[in-house]
C-alpha cells in the first residue's frame, strides 16, 4: 500500500511514531515518510538513529495547532497518521485550554489540511479514555474522534476518507505502570492504586501493526478496536516484583476501575470480526460503505471492557509479555 507513496505522521517522534516509521521503512519502499512534530531535539535524535536511516525519511518541524504549516506539510502526501496529542491526565485538568487547542483544534486542522491536499486516507489514534470520559483528556479525545468520523461527510466524493483506531494501554510506553513497577522493585515497595483494577495490554508493535491493517481495509467512517487481552494490576505486580510489598494508595482522580473500549450505548453500531471490532458511525449520512467489510452484529447489551467479553492473560502469558522488565 505504501510503495512509492508519501506518508505523513504527526507526533512522529513519540513512542508510537518511531515504531511506526521503523515498521514502514522495513516493510515498504515509500517515496517519503514525513515526521511532523514540534520537538527539534527529538527530531535530531531520531535523524541520527542508525536503525531509522533511510533516504525516504523527512523531518518537518510544526505544530498541529498551525493550520498553515499543515497545508505546507501535506502537499503531495497520500496517507496521514495522526498520533500527535497532549496526553497527561493531571496536566489536562490544570491546563484545559492547551489540551483543547492541540487535541480538538488540532484534529480540525488535520481534517481541513488533508482535505485541501487531496490525501487518500487519514487515520487518527484514539484511546480508551475517550469512552464515557471522566477527565478532560478523555473528553478532548472523544471530540477528536467525532471530528474525524464526521470529516467523511465534509469530504463527500473528493476521495479523502477518515477513520479512527482506538486501543488501551501500550505496554512500556511513557506513563505505563510496567516500567514504574520495575523501577520500584529495587526499593522493595510498589505503589498500587487498586490491585483489582483491570487493564487491556497491547505492545507497541501490535498497535503499529493494527493501525497498518486498519489503513489497508478502511472505507471511511470506521472506529477500529482490536481484540486484546487483559489482566489486573495485581497480576502485573506479582510477575514483575513477586517479593515486593504493596503500598495501596487508592485510585487517582480521573481513573477508572476497568477500561472500556466499547460501551453498551454503541453496541447496536458494532460489527465483530475475528481479531477486531468496528464501531460504525451513529449517523451514516455520507453513504455508509462499512457494510461491505462483512462482520457480524453484536447483541444489544454488548460492551467490551477489561472485565467482560475479553480474554484474560494467565501467569505464563503475562510473564512472556513482560519478559524484558523481569529481574
pLDDT tens digits for range 177-228: 888 899 999 999 999 999 999 999 999 999 999 999 999 999 999 999 999 9
Q: Which residues contact 254 (CB under 8 A, 6 or more apart)?
A: 89, 90, 93, 134, 135, 137, 138
Percentage of the chain beyond pLDDT 70 is 97
- The H or E element containing residue 239 is helix 233-240
More confident residue, 246 or 325: 246
6-168+201-228+261-305 maps to CATH 3.40.50.1820: no
Indicate the SS3 state at residue 163. Answer: strand
Query: Is the model's pTM score more than 0.85?
Result: yes
| Mean of per-residue pLDDT scores for the chain | 92
How many CB atoms are located within 10 Å of the residue 61 CB?
13
Is the separation of the CB atoms in 234 and 195 below 8 Å?
yes
For 107-146, the pLDDT digits (tens) are 999 999 999 999 999 999 999 999 999 999 999 999 999 9
> Quick one: pLDDT at residue 147?
97
Q: How far, in Å, are 71, 178, 181 from residue 322 at the CA level?
A: 42, 8, 11
Average pLDDT of the residues in 155-175: 86
* Residue 129 annotated among the catalytic residues of the structure: yes
Q: Which of 22, 31, 121, 129 is catalytic?
A: 129
Please check the confidence at residue 252 and state whether its pLDDT lies above 70.
yes
For 37-85, the pLDDT digits (tens) are 999 999 999 999 998 999 999 999 999 999 999 999 999 999 999 999 9
Q: Which residues pair with 271 in a beta bridge?
A: 278, 297
- CA 17 to chain CA centroid, Å, is 10
Distance CA 226, CA 206 (A): 9
Amino acid at each position: 500500500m505504501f510503495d512509492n507513496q508519501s506518508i505523513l505522521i504527526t507526533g512522529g517522534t513519540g513512542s508510537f511514531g518511531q515504531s511506526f516509521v521503523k515498521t514502514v521503512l522495513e516493510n515498504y519502499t515509500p517515496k517519503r515518510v514525513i515526521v511532523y512534530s514540534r520537538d527539534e531535539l527529538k527530531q535530531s535524535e531520531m535523524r541520527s538513529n542508525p536503525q531509522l536511516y533511510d533516504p525516504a525519511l523527512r523531518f518537518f518541524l510544526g505544530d498541529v495547532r498551525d493550520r498553515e504549516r499543515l497545508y505546507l506539510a501535506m502537499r503531495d502526501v497520500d496517507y496521514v497518521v495522526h498520533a500527535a496529542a497532549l496526553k497527561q491526565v493531571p496536566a489536562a485538568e490544570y491546563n484545559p485550554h492547551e489540551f483543547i487547542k492541540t487535541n480538538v483544534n488540532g484534529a480540525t486542522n488535520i481534517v481541513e489540511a488533508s482535505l485541501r491536499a487531496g490525501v487518500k486516507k487519514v487515520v487518527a489514534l484514539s484511546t480508551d479514555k475517550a469512552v464515557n470520559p471522566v477527565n478532560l483528556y478523555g473528553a478532548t479525545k472523544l471530540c477528536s474522534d467525532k471530528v474525524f468520523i464526521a470529516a467523511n461527510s465534509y469530504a463527500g466524493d473528493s476521495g479523502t476518507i477518515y477513520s479512527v483506531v482506538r486501543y488501551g494501554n501500550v505496554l512500556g510506553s511513557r506513563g505505563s505502570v510496567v516500567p514504574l513497577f520495575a523501577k520500584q522493585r529495587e526499593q522493595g515497595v510498589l505503589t498500587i492504586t487498586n490491585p483489582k483494577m483491570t487493564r487491556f495490554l497491547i505492545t507497541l508493535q501490535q498497535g503499529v501493526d493494527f493501525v497498518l491493517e486498519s489503513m489497508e481495509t478502511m472505507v471511511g467512517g470506521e472506529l477500529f478496536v482490536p481484540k486484546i487481552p487483559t489482566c489486573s494490576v495485581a497480576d502485573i505486580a506479582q510477575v514483575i516484583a513477586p517479593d515486593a510489598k504493596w503500598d495501596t494508595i487508592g485510585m487517582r482522580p480521573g481513573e477508572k476501575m476497568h477500561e472500556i473500549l466499547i460501551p453498551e450505548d454503541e453496541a447496536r453500531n458494532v460489527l465483530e470480526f475475528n481479531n477486531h471490532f468496528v464501531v460504525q458511525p451513529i449517523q451514516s449520512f455520507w453513504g455508509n460503505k462499512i457494510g461491505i467489510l462483512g462482520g457480524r452484529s453484536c447483541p444489544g447489551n454488548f460492551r467490551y471492557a477489561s472485565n467482560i467479553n475479553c480474554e484474560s492473560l494467565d501467569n505464563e502469558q503475562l510473564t512472556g509479555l513482560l519478559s524484558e522488565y523481569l529481574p
